[in-house]
């Protein structure tokens, strides 16, 4: 026992010494690099992969201009929430911390009303995309700067333009037109849609991603669902979407082996012309060209999912977001850093120097989208909304269960009404477990 | 002399403490938690009586189907593994004369493969479009037999049973082979002299003499079948839909969703089923006449 304790102490001591040495070396390197003694150092704690190289470069620039250094504390993603929670709960939070936006997460995971600073009055607040800001807002107060390309990840139907042209087909804008398109492709011996059901998560996208359409038909529905004053069961638009998805499966539009198909084959199938369409994100065309250079990105077009006659663009505006810790002694300096990041020239620098980011959610931000995708975004500038896995509580945690229900529906084990009924049932279970007052 | 053969009680205390700490107390607390609403969403744990069990046994939920699937899996894997294991053991005990050890190793090989590897291989082999099995069936003109093995809810469970039996037969065969080799050859010679044919020798000598080994494999198969998880999780993940969901996969899912109270309630039901099944199988074993 004594041996273990001593070893433990030795280990802790060694670890501390190493940390100290590392920190000193970093501090030395920082001084040596800039040749300027920092007046103050802000600490910013974030999960692995949330801080891009371009942001670190911007922090250096910020330090040169203001003398305020930013110390990035990057924590492995599987440990991040535990470390952050411990720090916040013990009152020793960093000056800035990263967190996943989304109203439910802000309340349940981060308790931002207690732990974060109200940023509603910041100069960049009005320039941040309103849909994105809504996910970082609790009770009318904006708490976060979302410095992440949340808009470039919309799930849309990507189609092979050549196949469409050869068969005299046009982009469908209603469900009936979509069904007719699929039928025409089937008649021509081409599989209309590649739908990888085997992974269990992909085919779910067809339902909650239509959130903007549900909201368009019944404005305020998400709020009513969150207040437990509305249900999925009995909603005609939702029932239409699920029933139509089932009809497409039964007509054979997804091929005979959809239940065994996997997502990783998507680019191969579309590049090989084995299917005409697939539901994928807006970067799919570029990815396909990257994987199969013979298929050009410009040969792939995009359109929004037309189930339930949807013509709204689905956005998931939640993503890694910067918060300022309410207990920080350096709140003003931290605000200064966020304002610096949001300056147009710095937003431009970030987008240009971050391969994974197509844009940032700020007014006037540059865009690297393919012309097709940009055209889609432009055309839907006033016709877009938030997907239901983000807008409605307790939908995202049951994603895989919805997948199972949809598969059961495809195999006639349950009916479309049951899919909606089960979602309500699981939401009630989750809300009850979370002691949600709306369900008490 | 007697006292030399009996160890003092305190010898057992250390083991008892360990057993209590790591088996009895967790098991009992598991049963206690099945009566609570313990979840990852709240720090509070409240006693809710039989609510979790009511939910599990309610016809509105799928749990009764999962219990049925568990029994179906157990029943068919016992039959298949025992019948084919016995057939192979007989073949390798007497029938095959050359390369016997080579065959034994080959048949035992699937047992040592990890479930995940087996499942990945069979997911590829049983793929309805480009899987090895269906391609082979098409090539030899038996395209009508090429079925959607893992994606048709009517046959998916039987495909899983088939794969699991393929993997488990070697293990059963080894136990039965060991049992066969303990049967004295004289009995067969005497029976042959009395005019008994091969079937009679099998029915009246091999089977009765092999009964203890058969009972052991049945107990092992029952306990394995009722607790099955790995092969189903890796091969179909309970799908398509809920067609191959069993109790253990559901326990895992309840826990991964943070519904700890519900998960322990399903686990408690599985525990009760295992205790009842174990009791009857052991009683059956006790009723077996002495081989001698």
CA distances in angstroms from B139 to A20, A274, B135, listed in the order given = 68, 22, 6
Q: Does position B156 have pLDDT exceeding 90, yes or no? A: yes
Q: Does position A197 have pLDDT exceeding 80, yes or no? A: yes
Q: Please tell me whether the overall predicted TM-score, pTM, comes out greater than 0.90 for this model.
A: no
Q: How far apart are CA A105 and CA A123, in angstroms?
A: 25
Asked if residue A210 and residue A133 are part of one domain, the reply reads no
Local structure of A278: helix, strand or coil? strand
* CB contact at 8 A, A167 and A183: no
Q: Does position A1 have pLDDT exceeding 70, yes or no? A: no
Task: Please identify which residue in the block is written with the tokens 């103050």.
Answer: A40
> Minimal Cα–Cα distance from B203 to chain A, Å?
44
Asked if residue A353 and residue A426 are part of one domain, the reply reads no
Q: Does position A28 have pLDDT exceeding 70, yes or no? A: no
Radius of gyration of chain B (CA): 24
Q: Range with the lowest mean pLDDT among A138-147, B156-165, B231-240?
A: B231-240
pLDDT at A396 (0 to 100): 85
Topology of the domain covering B55-286: MetI-like fold (1.10.3720)
Q: What is the pLDDT of residues A345-373, one digit of tens each?
A: 999 999 999 877 889 999 999 988 888 88
> Minimal Cα–Cα distance from B174 to chain A, Å?
35
What residues in chain B have their Cβ under 8 A from chain A's Cβ atoms?
Answer: 37, 39-42, 44, 127-129, 148, 150-153, 237-243, 257-259
Closest alpha carbon within chain A to B130 = A257
Report the pLDDT averaged over residues B198-208.
Answer: 93
Q: How far apart are CA A104 and CA B93, in angstroms?
A: 66
Asked if residue A85 and residue A198 are part of one domain, the reply reads no
Q: How far apart are CA A416 and CA A399, in angstroms?
A: 16
pLDDT at B283 (0 to 100): 82
Task: Kindly report whether the peptide bond that precedes residue B240 is cis, defined as omega within 30 degrees of 0.
Answer: yes
- In percent, the amount of chain A with pLDDT more than 90 equals 68
DSSP string, A32-75: HHHSS--SEEEEEEEETTSS-HHHHHHHHHHHHHHSEEEEEEEE
CA distances in angstroms from A56 to A197, A337, A342, listed in the order given = 40, 12, 14
Q: Does position B25 have pLDDT exceeding 80, yes or no? A: yes
Under an 8 A CB cutoff, do A434 and B41 touch? Answer: yes
Place A22 in a pLDDT band, splitting at 50, 70 and 90: very low
Ordered by start, the domain boundaries in chain B are: 55-286
Under an 8 A CB cutoff, do B128 and A256 touch? Answer: yes
Report the pLDDT averaged over residues B81-87.
Answer: 95
B257 vs A259, A397, A410: nearest CB:
A397
Question: Which backbone phi and psi does A107 adopt, to 5 degrees?
Answer: -80, -50
Name which of A256, A264, A404 to mutate to probe chain B: the one with the most chain B Cβ atoms within 10 A of its Cβ. A404
Asked if residue A13 belongs to a domain, the reply is no
Under an 8 A CB cutoff, do B44 and A435 touch? Answer: yes
B241 vs A108, A256, A411: nearest CB:
A411
Asked if residue A424 and residue A287 are part of one domain, the reply reads yes
Report the pLDDT averaged over residues A118-147.
Answer: 95
pLDDT at A236 (0 to 100): 97
pLDDT at A2 (0 to 100): 34
Closest alpha carbon within chain B to A261 = B127
pLDDT at B288 (0 to 100): 58
CATH number for position A113: 3.40.190.10
Report the pLDDT averaged over residues B244-251.
Answer: 94
B240 vs A397, A411, A434: nearest CB:
A411
Q: Does position A75 have pLDDT exceeding 80, yes or no? A: yes
Under an 8 A CB cutoff, do A408 and B238 touch? Answer: no
Question: Which residues from B are below 8 Å from A411, CB to CB?
Answer: 152-153, 240-241, 243
Asked if residue A102 and residue A68 are part of one domain, the reply reads yes
pLDDT at B4 (0 to 100): 58
Under an 8 A CB cutoff, do A413 and B41 touch? Answer: no
- Interface A-B, measured as beta-carbon pairs within 8 A, has a size of 67
Report the pLDDT averaged over residues A411-416.
Answer: 94
pLDDT at A3 (0 to 100): 35
CA distances in angstroms from A110 to A48, A63, B44, listed in the order given = 18, 28, 19
pLDDT at A21 (0 to 100): 43
pLDDT at B172 (0 to 100): 95
Asked if residue A268 and residue A174 are part of one domain, the reply reads yes
A404 vs B37, B128, B241: nearest CB:
B241
> Minimal Cα–Cα distance from B94 to chain A, Å?
43
Question: Which residues from B are below 8 Å from A407, CB to CB?
Answer: 239-241
DSSP H helical segments within A161-307, as ranges?
A: 161-166, 175-187, 211-217, 221-226, 236-250, 266-271, 284-291
Q: How many domains does chain A have?
A: 2
Under an 8 A CB cutoff, do B41 and A435 touch? Answer: yes
Q: What is the pLDDT of residues A272-288, one digit of tens each?
A: 999 999 999 888 898 89
Question: Which residues from B are below 8 Å from A409, CB to CB?
Answer: 241
Under an 8 A CB cutoff, do B127 and A257 touch? Answer: yes
CA distances in angstroms from B187 to B89, B161, B178, B180, listed in the order given = 19, 37, 17, 12
Residue A106 belongs to what domain range?
36-151+318-362
Give this complex's ipTM: 0.79
Asked if residue A124 and residue A63 are part of one domain, the reply reads yes
Name which of A195, A260, A402, A416 to mutate to probe chain B: the one with the most chain B Cβ atoms within 10 A of its Cβ. A260
Structure-token pair, residue A238: 């939702």
Place B257 in a pLDDT band, splitting at 50, 70 and 90: confident
Q: What is the pLDDT of residues B226-237, one digit of tens each?
A: 999 999 999 998
pLDDT at B139 (0 to 100): 94
Under an 8 A CB cutoff, do A200 and B237 touch? Answer: yes
Asked if residue A343 and residue A217 are part of one domain, the reply reads no
Element (H, E) at A348: helix A344-353
* CB contact at 8 A, B279 and B267: no
pLDDT at B289 (0 to 100): 53
Element (H, E) at A322: strand A320-324
Place B3 in a pLDDT band, splitting at 50, 70 and 90: low
A 10 A CB-CB count for A419 gives 24
Asked if residue A325 belongs to a domain, the reply is yes
Q: Range with the lowest mean pLDDT among A20-34, A92-106, B42-56?
A: A20-34
Cα-to-chain-centroid distance, residue A435: 26
What residues in chain A have their Cβ under 8 A from chain B's Cβ atoms?
Answer: 108, 197-198, 200, 256-257, 259-260, 397-398, 404-405, 407-411, 413-414, 429-430, 432-435
Asked if residue A358 and residue A435 are part of one domain, the reply reads no
Q: Does position A109 have pLDDT exceeding 90, yes or no? A: no
Which of A302, A328, A362 terminates a domain? The answer is A362
Element (H, E) at A191: strand A191-194
Question: Which residues from A are below 8 Å from B44, CB to CB?
Answer: 435
Total residues found in chain B within this entry: 292
Under an 8 A CB cutoff, do A430 and B41 touch? Answer: yes
Nearest to B207 by CA among B175, B174, B183, B173: B183
> Minimal Cα–Cα distance from B156 to chain A, Å?
12
Place B8 in a pLDDT band, splitting at 50, 70 and 90: confident
Average pLDDT of chain A? 88
* CB contact at 8 A, A196 and A202: yes
Asked if residue A141 and residue A206 are part of one domain, the reply reads no
Report the pLDDT averaged over residues A167-192.
Answer: 96
Asked if residue A369 belongs to a domain, the reply is no
Mean pLDDT comparison of A255-259, A436-440, B162-166, highest-scoring range? B162-166
pLDDT at B100 (0 to 100): 79
Report the pLDDT averaged over residues A381-395.
Answer: 91
Asked if residue A283 and residue A269 are part of one domain, the reply reads yes
Place A433 in a pLDDT band, splitting at 50, 70 and 90: confident
Asked if residue A102 and residue A66 are part of one domain, the reply reads yes
Asked if residue A11 belongs to a domain, the reply is no
DSSP string, A132-158: HHHTTEETTEE--B--S--GGG-EEEE
């Amino acid at each position: 026992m004594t041996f273990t304790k001593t070893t433990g102490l030795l280990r802790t001591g060694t670890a501390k010494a190493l940390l100290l040495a590392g920190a000193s070396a970093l501090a030395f390197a920082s001084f040596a690099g800039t040749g300027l003694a920092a007046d103050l150092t802000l600490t910013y704690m974030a999960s692995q992969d949330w801080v891009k190289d371009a942001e670190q470069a911007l922090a250096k620039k910020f330090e040169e201009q203001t003398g305020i250094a930013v110390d990035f504390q990057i924590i492995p993603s599987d440990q991040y929430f535990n470390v952050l929670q411990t720090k916040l709960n013990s009152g020793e939070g960093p000056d800035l911390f990263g967190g996943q936006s989304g109203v439910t997460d802000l309340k349940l995971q981060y308790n931002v009303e207690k732990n974060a600073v109200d940023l509603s009055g910041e100069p960049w607040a009005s320039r941040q995309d309103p849909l994105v800001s809504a996910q970082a807002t609790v009770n009318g107060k904006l708490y976060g700067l979302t410095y992440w390309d949340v808009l470039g990840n919309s799930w849309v139907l990507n189609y092979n333009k050549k196949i469409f042209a050869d068969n005299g087909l046009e982009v469908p804008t209603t469900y009936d037109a979509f069904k007719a398109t699929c039928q025409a492709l089937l008649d021509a011996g081409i599989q209309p849609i590649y739908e990888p059901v085997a992974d269990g998560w992909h085919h779910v996208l067809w339902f909650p991603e239509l959130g903007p359409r549900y909201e368009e038909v019944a404005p305020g529905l998400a709020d009513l669902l969150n207040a437990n004053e509305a249900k999925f069961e009995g909603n005609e638009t939702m029932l239409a979407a699920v029933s139509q998805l089932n009809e497409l499966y039964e007509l054979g539009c997804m091929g005979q082996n959809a239940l065994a198909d996997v997502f990783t084959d998507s680019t191969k199938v579309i590049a090989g012309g084995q299917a005409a369409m697939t539901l994928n994100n807006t970067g799919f065309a570029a990815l396909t060209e990257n994987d199969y250079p013979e298929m050009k990105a410009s040969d792939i077009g995009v359109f929004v999912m037309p189930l339930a006659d949807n013509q709204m663009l689905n956005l998931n505006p939640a993503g890694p977001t910067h918060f300022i810790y309410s207990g920080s002694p350096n709140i003003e300096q931290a605000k200064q850093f966020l304002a610096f990041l949001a300056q147009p020239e710095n937003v431009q620098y970030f987008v240009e120097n971050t391969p994974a980011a197509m844009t940032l959610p700020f007014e006037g931000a540059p865009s690297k989208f393919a012309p097709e995708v940009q055209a889609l975004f432009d055309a839907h500038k006033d016709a877009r909304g938030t997907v239901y896995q983000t807008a409605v509580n307790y939908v995202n945690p049951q994603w895989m269960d919805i997948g199972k229900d949809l598969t059961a529906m495809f195999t006639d084990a349950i009916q479309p009404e049951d899919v909606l009924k089960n979602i309500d049932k699981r939401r009630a279970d989750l809300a009850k477990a979370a002691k949600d007052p709306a369900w008490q | 002399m007697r006292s030399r053969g009996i160890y003092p009680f305190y010898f057992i205390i250390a083991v008892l403490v360990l057993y209590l700490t790591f088996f009895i107390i967790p098991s009992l607390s598991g049963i206690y938690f099945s009566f609570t609403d313990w979840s990852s969403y709240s720090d509070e744990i409240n006693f809710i009586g039989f609510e979790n069990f009511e939910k599990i046994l309610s016809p509105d939920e799928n749990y009764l189907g999962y219990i049925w699937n568990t029994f179906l899996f157990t029943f068919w894997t016992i039959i298949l593994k025992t019948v084919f294991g016995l057939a192979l053991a007989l073949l390798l005990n007497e029938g095959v004369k050359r390369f016997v050890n080579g065959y034994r190793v080959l048949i035992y090989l699937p047992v040592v493969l990890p479930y995940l590897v087996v499942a990945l291989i069979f997911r590829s082999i049983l793929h309805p479009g480009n899987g090895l099995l269906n391609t082979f069936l098409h090539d030899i003109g038996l395209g009508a037999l090429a079925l959607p093995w893992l994606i048709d809810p009517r046959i998916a469970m039987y495909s899983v049973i088939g794969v699991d039996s393929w993997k488990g037969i070697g293990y059963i065969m080894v136990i039965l082979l060991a049992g066969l080799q303990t049967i004295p050859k004289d009995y067969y010679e005497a029976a042959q002299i009395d005019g008994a044919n091969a079937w009679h020798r099998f029915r009246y000598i091999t089977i009765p003499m092999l009964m203890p080994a058969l009972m052991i494999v049945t107990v092992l198969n029952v306990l394995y079948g009722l607790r099955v998880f790995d092969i189903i999780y890796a091969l179909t993940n309970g799908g398509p839909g809920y067609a191959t969901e069993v109790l253990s996969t559901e326990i895992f899912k309840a826990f991964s969703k943070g519904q700890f109270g519900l998960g322990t309630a399903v686990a408690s039901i599985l525990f009760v089923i295992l205790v009842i099944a174990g009791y009857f199988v052991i009683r059956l074993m006790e009723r077996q006449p002495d081989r001698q």
